[in-house]
Amino acid sequence: MSASEQLEILEEPPFILENGVKYINPTEVKMSQFILPCHANHCGELSVGQLLKWMDTTACLSAERHAHCPCVTASMDDIDFDFEQRLSVGHVVNIKAKVNRAFNTSLEVGISITSEDPCSGRQWKVCNAFATFVAKGQGSGKVQLKAVIPRTSQEKIEYSIAAERRRMRLHHLESIKDLVSSSTIQKEPDFDESQHVVPAEKTRVETVELVLPPHANHQRNSFGGQIMAWMESAATISASRFCKGHPVLKTIDMFHFRGPSQVGDRITLKAIVNNAFKESFEVGVCAEAYHQEGWDQKTHINSAFMTFVVPDKGGKLCTFPRVKPEPGDGKRRYREASARKKIRLDRKYIISCKQTEVPLSVPWDPSNQVYLSYNNVSALKILAAKQNWVLNCMQNKAKLSTLEEDHLLFFKAEMIVSVNVKQVFVLLSDMSRRHEWDTHYQRFKLIQKVDTDDVIYHVVSPSVNKASNFQDFVLLASRRVPCADGDPYLIALRSVSLPAVPPTKDLDRGEVSCAGFTLCQEGVTSTKIAYYIQTTPQVLPYITRDITGLSSDLCKIIEALNKFLEQNKDTVHMCDIG
C-alpha cells in the first residue's frame, strides 16, 4: 500500500490523569459495523440511511450516558459526504460519539465516522457530524442536565464552540428560512421548449411506513435515525427517477425533528426534485405522521433537503438536464433550492475550512452572515484555547505573549482591570468609542448594524512606516455574552469585504484574520482582559516593535484603556448588554 493511499486518521494523544490513569471520556461510545449486503444498495455500497441509523444510535447512547435518562433526537446538523470514498460491502464503519456540551434540557453530541478495509488495512475519514438530543424524563417535566466538564484541550475547544453551534442552530433556522423565501423576488424561471427538460412531477415519490417496535425505543418513540433513513430512501428513489442512474448523496441539510412519532403511527414520506444545477441536484423530502388516535390528524415530523451527484466510472460528474417545476409550490421550491445552494456553498467555504484556510476579507452578504459570525467567534475561541504561549515581556502590568504555530505568529496581551466585567464588555464592544483609547483607530465609520451582536465598520489607522499611506480595515465585530457561568464575554473581529467600501488609492487596505477580546470576571469588581490577534503582514510591524521593546505604543494604549474603562464605567447601563 502506498503512503498516499493510507489516509492518516489523527488520534488525540492520550491524556493522563493525575493518578497516572489514561483518561477516557465517560460519555464516549464506539460502534463498529461490518457492511453486509443487507446494509447496502444494489451497487453494493452502504446506504446512507443505514449509516444515519448507526450514527443516531451511537450518539443517543452517548447522550443517555450523560443524561441518565431517555433522550430524543432534536436535530442533526448539515453533513457533507466525500462521495469519492465509497463504503462497500466488506468494509468496516467505525463510529465514535461523545457529548461535547450539555445546555439546559438539550446536549450536543459530536460524532466522527471513519472506515477501514480490513483486507488491506487502509483507513479513511468519512465525515463528522453534530446531533442535538433532548432529555426526556418521566412525566412532562423538563430535565435539567448536569454540566459537562471538559478535560482535554480538544474537549475544551469543542465545549466552547458547541455554544456557538447551538446559537447558529437556534437563531438561524428561522433567518435561513427568511433568506430563502426572500430570494423568491428573482425572475420566474422560463423554459425554452426546444431544451431538454425533465418535468418535476416525474420524480415525485409518495410512500408510507408503519412505525413498529423495532423502530422505536422502550418508550415507544420512534428513533430519529429510522426517520432519517426512511427520508433518505424516499429521496434516493426520487433522485434515481431524475438521473436515470445511480445517484450518490453529497450533502444533507440539517434535520430538525419538529415533533415525535410513536409505535403504531403511519409515516408518509413525500419527495420530489426541486431543482437541478449543472452537476448536482436537490431533492426535498417531507415526513408527516398520522397518529393512531385520529387518522386524519397529521403532524409534520421533518423536512430535509439532499444534494445528489452522479459520478461516472472515472469519477467525473455527469451533467443534468433542467427541471421543469410544477406550478405554484413547485416554482417556489425551484427558486428556494437555488438560494439553498448558495447558502450551502457559503457554509462549506466558511465553516468547514480550517481557520487558516478561510480567505481573508470574505465578501460579506446577508446569506453568509450567520457563517461569518460563527467563524469569527469560533476562530477567537480556538485561538484563546491555544497553549504554549511564550511570555515576551510585561508592559504597564500587562503580559505580552506570542505563539508560533504552522508558520503563523499569534499575539496575546493580558491585563486585569478594576472594573466589572459587564461594564468592560459594553465599553469595549462599542467600536465607535475605540478611538478614545486606541491610537490605531483614527477614523471610524459604522457601515452596517447587522443585528444586536454583529456590526461591520470601517477604520483608518496610521501606518507604522511613516513614509507610506494610512491603512484601512473593514471589520466584522461579533460580540457574545456567556452561554453559561464560567464562559467568558467575547468580542471577535475579522476582516470582510463589502462592495460599499472598496479599497481606495490613498489608503492601503489591511486585513485582520482573527482578533478580539475575551473578558473573564475576577471577583465582583475586576476583569481579566485578554486581547488576541493572529498577525498578518499589515499588523506584524506594530506587534514586533512592541514585544521587542522598540516601541512603547502598546504601553500607552494599555494605560489609555485602563483610564477609559475607569472613567466611563458608571455610564454603562446593564440593559446595553442586550
**Which letter does DSSP use for residue 437 in this model?**
T
Annotate 106-144 with b (16+ C-beta within 10 A) or e (fewer): bbbbbbbbbbbbeeeeebbebbebbbbbbbbeeeeeebe
CA 31, CA 54: separation in Å to the nearest integer? 8
Q: Is residue 420 part of the contact set for ligand COA (CB under 6 A)?
A: no
Rounded to 5°, angle at Cα 295 from 290 and 296? 95
Dihedral in degrees, nearest 10, Cα atoms 381, 385, 389, 393: 50
Q: Is residue 329 part of the contact set for ligand ADP (CB under 6 A)?
A: yes
To ligand COA, the closest distance from the beta carbon of 131 in angstroms equals 9
To ligand COA, the closest distance from the beta carbon of 40 in angstroms equals 24
**HEC secondary structure over 71-94:** EEEEEECCEECCCCCCCECCCEEE
Q: Is residue 130 part of the contact set for ligand COA (CB under 6 A)?
A: no
Q: Is residue 298 part of the contact set for ligand ADP (CB under 6 A)?
A: no
- 127 or 143, CB closer to ligand COA? 143
Q: Is residue 111 part of the contact set for ligand COA (CB under 6 A)?
A: no
CA 473, CA 438: separation in Å to the nearest integer? 15
Q: Is residue 416 part of the contact set for ligand ADP (CB under 6 A)?
A: no
- 134 or 235, CB closer to ligand COA? 134
Q: Helix or strand or coil: residue 488? A: coil
Residue span 272-291 as binding mask against ligand ADP, x where in contact by CB under 6 A, dash where not: x-x---------xxx-----
Q: Is residue 303 part of the contact set for ligand ADP (CB under 6 A)?
A: yes
Number of residues that bind ligand ADP (CB under 6 A): 11
To ligand COA, the closest distance from the beta carbon of 223 in angstroms equals 6
Annotate 224-238 with b (16+ C-beta within 10 A) or e (fewer): bbbbbbbbbbbbbbb
Distances (CA, A) of 143 to 102, 104, 239, 418, 448: 11, 8, 41, 39, 40
Dig out the grid coordinates for 386 from the structure: 491555544
Distances (CA, A) of 377 to 152, 165, 351, 362: 21, 10, 11, 15
Q: Locate cell 451527484: which residue? A: 309
Residue span 154-173 as binding mask against ligand COA, x where in contact by CB under 6 A, dash where not: ---------------xx--x
Q: Is residue 222 part of the contact set for ligand COA (CB under 6 A)?
A: yes
Q: Is residue 330 part of the contact set for ligand ADP (CB under 6 A)?
A: no
Q: Is residue 301 part of the contact set for ligand COA (CB under 6 A)?
A: yes
Residue 520 interacts with which of ligand COA, ligand ADP, none, CB < 5 to 8 Å by class: none
Residues in the chain: 578
Q: CB 570: neighbour CB atoms within 10 A?
A: 8
Question: Pick from 35, 67, 113, 134: which binds ligand COA (CB under 6 A)?
Answer: 134
- 200 or 419, CB closer to ligand ADP? 200
Contact 551, 540 (CB under 8 A): no
Residue span 202-241 as binding mask against ligand ADP, x where in contact by CB under 6 A, dash where not: --x-------------------------------------
Ranked by CB distance to ligand ADP, the top (closest) residue is 284
Question: Pick from 132, 160, 236, 368: which binds ligand COA (CB under 6 A)?
Answer: 132
To ligand COA, the closest distance from the beta carbon of 228 in angstroms equals 8
CA 382, CA 31: separation in Å to the nearest integer? 29
Q: Is residue 252 part of the contact set for ligand ADP (CB under 6 A)?
A: no
Residue 222 interacts with which of ligand ADP, ligand COA, none, CB < 5 to 8 Å by class: ligand COA
CA 310, CA 320: separation in Å to the nearest integer? 9
To ligand ADP, the closest distance from the beta carbon of 247 in angstroms equals 15
Kindly list the residues in this chain that would bind ligand ADP in the complex (CB under 6 A): 204, 270-272, 274, 284-286, 303, 329, 333
Kindly list the residues in this chain that would bind ligand COA in the complex (CB under 6 A): 72-75, 103-106, 132, 134, 169-170, 173, 221-222, 224, 227, 256-261, 301
